């Protein structure tokens, strides 16, 4: 897993680049900001939600809020999002790089590879 600084001005990498994002109670709000910015309401959400932000809240945020031990893998796609339970994620089997987004500390660059 690679730990990276949150940067709202840098688009998240896509699943086609073999990258997925680990989501837990510590960074769920940061990843929601990516969804808000890069998946606006004009991108059709083909699910039970009216927007990708609502989808993110319904499928990820609500679960984490009700059980802080819940963890997910989030896949950014060109015009959509996907997710897996962190224990059974396709990303592990397919050799994806898993990114863990953390709040950027002023004046400090962080890139940790484990």
* Tens-digit pLDDT profile for residues 47-69: 667 788 888 998 899 999 999 99
3 with 110: CB under 8 angstroms? Answer: yes
Task: Specify the pTM.
Answer: 0.87
* Tens-digit pLDDT profile for residues 83-102: 998 888 999 999 999 999 99
The pair of three-digit structure tokens given for residue 87, joined into one six-digit string: 């224990």
* Tens-digit pLDDT profile for residues 10-48: 999 999 999 999 999 999 999 999 999 998 876 666 666
Q: How many CA atoms lie within 13 A of 27 on its CB side?
A: 22
């Amino acid at each position: 897993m690679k730990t990276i600084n949150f940067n709202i001005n840098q688009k998240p990498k896509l699943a086609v680049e073999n990258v997925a994002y680990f989501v837990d109670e510590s960074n769920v709000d940061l990843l929601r900001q990516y969804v808000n910015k890069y998946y606006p309401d004009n991108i059709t959400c083909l699910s039970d939600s009216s927007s990708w932000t609502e989808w993110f809240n319904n499928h990820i945020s609500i679960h984490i809020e009700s059980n802080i031990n819940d963890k997910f893998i989030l896949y950014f796609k060109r015009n959509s999002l996907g997710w897996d339970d962190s224990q059974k994620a396709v990303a592990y089997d397919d050799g994806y790089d898993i990114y863990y987004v953390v709040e950027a500390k002023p004046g400090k660059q962080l890139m940790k590879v484990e």
